[in-house]
A and B are shown apart, each in its own frame.
Chain A
Amino acid sequence: ETGVTQTPRHLVMGMTNKKSLKCEQHLGHNAMYWYKQSAKKPLELMFVYNFKEQTENNSVPSRFSPECPNSSHLFLHLHTLQPEDSALYLCASSQPQGSESNSPLHFGNGTRLTVT
């Protein structure tokens, strides 16, 4: 149990489907993140939310749409994805990063997404 729960663990979707990934954390953190992990590549930061406000969008295509209704929940809405979007999508939480605080990220187990 990592304290960060992601569902579903696996998802196969067609290019015309709409689906959502869900993340929930029970650690009392105020920052939440979406990362993309592809084989043989570094973890890529997608979005950052601090106190429910989006503070980072790392040039992510609009077919990925995040939603953060509260500090404990984070969603990633997916629409008209491409096969190259197939990857492991990891959610993480921490206290907000800053010049005086570097709280380690706590990751969920990820959603393995396959786009056909």
Chain B
Amino acid sequence: GQNIDQPTEMTATEGAIVQINCTYQTSGFNGLFWYQQHAGEAPTFLSYNVLDGLEEKGRFSSFLSRSKGYSYLLLKELQMKDSASYLCAVTSQGGKLIFGQGTELSVKP
């Protein structure tokens, strides 16, 4: 079957670093996306990984290990506005995009 796992909730402190993990088992793999979704708003694209390694984009970085079926999203210098749900999604065989349930991140002062 197809399965994407990520923690349901995380809490971190303003200014700190947080790592949100995602593991996946899918039929075929054609890339992994991270999206951010604030309450009541549309999910917005953060990052895309298809090769092993780290992709850095400002305060956000995303890592992929295809052999381990594992990815993480790293958020540095946390700000209150980073409080949101973070969605991991994998493109499986045939281009079908499968989402995890999302990780609700709360940033505290």
Tally A-B pairs: CB < 8 A. 56
B95's partner among A40, A42, A43, A96 (CB-CB below 8 A) is A96
Task: Tell yes or no: B78 within 8 A of A by CB.
Answer: no
Stretch in A14-22, A65-73, A74-82, A104-112 touching the partner: A104-112
A45's partner among B40, B96, B101 (CB-CB below 8 A) is B96
Q: Nearest Cβ distance between residue B85 and chain A, in whole angstroms?
A: 10
Q: Residues of B contacting A4 with CB < 8 Å?
A: 42
- A contact residues, range: 20 to 34
Q: Residues of A contacting B40 with CB < 8 Å?
A: 109
A102's partner among B35, B41, B91 (CB-CB below 8 A) is B91
Contact indicator B45/A105 (Cβ below 8 Å): yes
Known: A42-B4, A42-B101. A2 touches B31 (CB 8 A): no
Contact indicator A41/B101 (Cβ below 8 Å): yes
Task: Tell yes or no: B60 within 8 A of A by CB.
Answer: no
Q: Nearest Cβ distance between residue A15 and chain B, in whole angstroms?
A: 26
Q: Nearest Cβ distance between residue B34 and chain A, in whole angstroms?
A: 10
A99, A104, A107: residue with the most chain B Cβ atoms closer than 10 Å: A104
Contact indicator A107/B44 (Cβ below 8 Å): yes
For the complex with contacts A97-B97, A102-B30, A102-B33, 15 further pairs of A-B residues with Cβ separation under 8 Å are: A2-B44, A4-B42, A40-B101, A43-B43, A43-B87, A45-B97, A45-B98, A97-B95, A102-B50, A102-B95, A104-B45, A105-B33, A107-B35, A109-B42, A110-B42
Provide a sorted-by-A list of 14 A–B residue pairs whose CB atoms are within 8 angstroms: A2-B44, A40-B8, A40-B101, A41-B101, A42-B102, A43-B87, A45-B97, A90-B43, A102-B30, A102-B91, A105-B43, A105-B97, A109-B41, A110-B42
| Chain A residues within CB distance 8 Å of chain B | 2, 4, 40-43, 45, 56, 90, 96-99, 102, 104-110
| Chain B residues within CB distance 8 Å of chain A | 4, 8, 30-31, 33, 35, 40-45, 48, 50, 87, 89, 91, 95-102
